[in-house]
Each structure stands twice: as structure tokens, then as C-alpha cells.
Chains A and B, each alone.
Chain A
Amino acid sequence: MKRLYRPHPNDWDIGGMERFYARMARRGWQLEKRGALFSRFVRKEPEEVCYRVELASSSGNFGEVQLPPEQIQLYEECGWQYVTGRGLVHLFRAPAGSGEPELYDDPRQQADTLLGLRREARHQLIGACIQTAVYLLLVCLNWGNRTADMQITCLQAPTLVPLAIVLMASLLAGALHQVISLRRQYRRMRLGQPLDRRPQWGWRTIQVGFWAAAAVCVAFLLWQATGSRTLVPGAGQVGPCLVLEQLGEEGELTSLPVRGNSESVIRMTPLPGGRWWHGQEVRELGSSQVSLFQDVYELSSPQAAAKLGPVLAQTATFAWGLEPVEVDGLDWVVCGVLEAVAVRGNRAAYITLLVPAENDAEQRATLMQALTVLAQQWQDLA
């Protein structure tokens, strides 16, 4: 039997739910099951059906709340067939125009059925607010270099942070709108006015705005992913990166983390400038191993590169060991035992180099030598 899954309107949008399921039935899709985000439909003959939502009284706990059997029986005797339910929302159907009585003729009585849903909506809003507040607090306190991490993420994938903000804002706005809408509906019904089943165009417009913004962010990420390319250092494609051969290190290439057995890999991601990630490890005779990892950025201006340098230094694994040093041909350099950050013009690089060394001083000297080679290479590229 043919089945179809479709996202359904939110629980608070009672009129929207009833219209949505009636429209699907008119197209030959009969509601079979309502899930958290999607409803399952089964293929049937198209028919004119009227759906009505009944809300169960919340027991104070989240989860499934069944309607009492005597309530379902009463509704069924009046011509309303029980279809399915999830959480507090339960659906009944009847052939359109069959003269079945409405579920409620007293809005004040019906208003009481909204109380459980209102309580759940308030809990969701409080949860969303706490979650957002905690995250913002962590960012403000710069916990775990979160601010610097975010700056790096903004550079590597410029739309990832806006996408996260759009999704968070969408959840928060949805939770807030749910509370406001149910409160308005409840007050209206307590005054004796019937349930407002009209489409909520204002909220739909806001929702479309959120989805459009998210789609733009995702499209950019896809463009980045599809635009990424791999350079082959063996064929002389090194871009602005160093390779171990330039440092006089030659030997058998290891398989990790380098993909492929014969070459080191440089992955280039398109940005307004560009970003190169390079990983290379070689095993020399006698089993000693040399590893080089680099993140090289080419930015729109020297000012942007100058700002990025300290941020890269802040996110380094051994950030506390980095000290400013002078290297000819580089504008700004900090160097530790294993790591260094260098800036020249509109380029910035974060380098990790591990060589078999007797002590820290020897390891650091090799790293300084690598920086000198890098300065020369960048100078040649300019």
C-alpha cells in the first residue's frame, strides 16, 4: 500500500491542522498516523472529509496522553471517527456535509481543553530560553576559547554561524509564538468567541523568512563543499603551503592522516580568499617519524590577516607556549616548541611540526627553520 510522509502544522495551529488533513484527503491521502514532525498518509480514493482536533488534558507529564475510551465512543456515536493522536493532539474525522454536530458548541468549555497545551508551550519556551541564555553566557565568558573558535568557524565556513543563529532564532521565535497564540486563543474563547481557525499569515511569512535565510546559508556551504579541490604536492601543486621535502625531510609516506599512499594532500577550500589545509607525515629510515600540519589562509586584506594571527594563536593546542619572535620576511610570528603562527601580507598560517629531536630547543630550531622557508616561499609567491 502506497504511503506518504509530510511535515504537519504545529500543535498550536488547530485550524491549520484541520485544513491540512482535509486537503490531503481531497488529494487521495488519508491520515494514518501523526508523528512528532511528520504525518503518515495512506493512498485512498479522494474524498471530502472534515477533520476536528480534540486536545487531551495533560497529566502534567510530557508524552502520550490518551483520550478516555468513553469520550472516543461518544464522539464516534455522534459521527466523528477517531483517526490517530500524538501527545495531547487527537484527530477525528467525518464526511464533509454529513450534518454531524460540531465537537463543541460552547467555546468556554472548549477553552479548558487548551490548558494542557498552553502548559507544554510554556515549558518549551522556558527550555529554549535557558538553552539560548546558557550558550550566550558561555560565549560571553569566552569559555574554552569559544569566541576565538567561532571567529575561526566564521572564516572557514562563513555561513555556518549565521545558520546556527537562524535555527536558534527560529526555535525561540516558534516557542514564543506558540505561547502567545495559545494565550490569545484561550482568552478569546473564554469570552465566548469560537475557536479561531483562520490561517496565520503573519507567522507563516516569518517562518518563510527563516527558511529562506537558512536555505541561503546551506547553499553557500554546498558551494564551498563542491568547490573544494585537492592539490598534489608531488606534481608541484603546493599553493602557499610548505611540504616536508622543502625542509629536507624525505622518506616513506605514512598512510595516516594522508589519503593515498604516494602523495601528501593539500585540500583547498574556496573562501573570499582561500584556505589550504595540509597534512603530511613521513617515516624515515630507522622508524623516526616527521609530521607537518598546516592551515593557511589567504584573506581579502593584510588587516584581516593581521587580526586573524592572534586568533589562530589563541586556538592553538599549546597556546600558552607561544612567544613572539622575529623572522625575516614575515610581518608577525609567534612560535612555541611544536606550533607557530605566521602572518605576511594577506596570508596567515598555523603550523604544527613534529620532528625527531633530542630536546625542545632542537625541535624549536627546526620550526624556526621551517618559518624561514615559509617566508621565502610567500615572498616568491608575491
Chain B
Amino acid sequence: MEQQPMTEAMYYVLLALLRPLHGYGLMQRISQLSGGRLTMSPGTLYGILSRLQREGLIRLEDQDARRKTYALTEEGKAALRTEYARLCRLVEDGALLKEEGL
């Protein structure tokens, strides 16, 4: 089945999870990765994490630890690569703008 385009928030969550992180660290990492452009509130982030977990793209790494750490699954890594490739194609296609002098 073809993968649906991700929302910006989902893409950044997966991107931030290239390194396993706990929830609050994830929020800071997303802000850092996006140069402060994207800040995520805890409720919104938790909603996205739940959805990604349901879809099998991320997992809770250590269930027993006091601080729950999230990590990408193999499916998550594949989905991130696919989305990255899609975004690259979009940018490449957009190069036409420069050629047209816009």
C-alpha cells in the first residue's frame, strides 16, 4: 500500500527519533531541528506519539524505566526514508521556479 504523505509534525517527530528520546527531550529536539520554527505542545505531541505507536512506526524502548523512551522501529525508519525521498522530489521539481527566474 502506498504511504500517505505525513504531516509536518509527524515528520519532525520521526526525524527527532533517529536518536531514542523521552517525551520532553523530543519536544526540545524538534524545536532545535526546525530552528525554533516548530514548537510542539505536550498534548499535541502525545497525540502524534500515540498514533505513530499504533501504526507501528515507533515503540517504547524501555517499558520499566521511570522515563519512557521512544525509538523508531524498522517500519518507522522506512517511512521516514520514503517521506524524505518524496520531499526531495518536491524540492527538485520546484527547481523550475529558479529556471523561470521567480
Contact = CB atoms under 8 A, between A and B. Distances in A.
B52 interface: no
B44 interface: yes
Contacts of A103: 41-43
Contacts of A113: 43, 47
A117 to B, nearest CB: 15
A109 B42 contact: no
The number of chain B residues touching the other chain, given as a range, is 10 to 19
Contacts of B81: none
Nearest to B69: A70
A106 B9 CA distance: 10
A74 B47 contact: no
A236 interface: no
Nearest to B45: A74
Contacts of B46: 70-71, 74-75
A80 B42 contact: yes
Contacts of B40: 105
Find the residue from A69, A71, A103 having the highest chain B CB count within 10 A: A71
Contacts of B60: 70
B27 A78 contact: yes
Interface in B37-74: 39-48, 60, 67-68
B84 interface: no
Contacts of B20: none
A103 B60 CA distance: 22
B48 to A, nearest CB: 8
A101 B24 contact: no
Contacts of A78: 24, 27, 41-42
Q: Which one of B9, B39, B42 has the greatest number of beta carbons of chain A within 10 Å?
A: B42
B67 A73 contact: yes
B44 A74 contact: no
Contacts of B42: 74-75, 77-78, 80, 101, 103
Contact of B23 (A74, A104, A106, A109): A74
A73 B67 CA distance: 8
Given A78-B24, A78-B27, A101-B39, A73 B68 contact: yes
Interface in A31-70: 54, 69-70
A112 interface: yes
A74 B45 CA distance: 9
A381 to B, nearest CB: 76
Contacts of A109: 43-44, 47-48
Given A70-B68, A112-B47, A101 B23 contact: no
Contacts of B68: 69-70, 73
A102 interface: yes
A294 interface: no
A254 interface: no
B51 to A, nearest CB: 9
Contacts of A101: 39, 41-42
Contacts of A69: 68
A101 B41 CA distance: 6
Contacts of A106: 9, 41, 44, 47
Contact of A102 (B9, B23, B41): B41
Interface in A101-143: 101-106, 109-110, 112-113
Interface of A: 54, 69-71, 73-75, 77-78, 80, 101-106, 109-110, 112-113
20 contacts: A70-B23, A70-B46, A70-B60, A70-B68, A74-B23, A74-B42, A74-B46, A75-B46, A77-B22, A77-B42, A78-B24, A78-B27, A78-B42, A101-B41, A101-B42, A102-B41, A103-B42, A109-B44, A109-B48, A113-B43
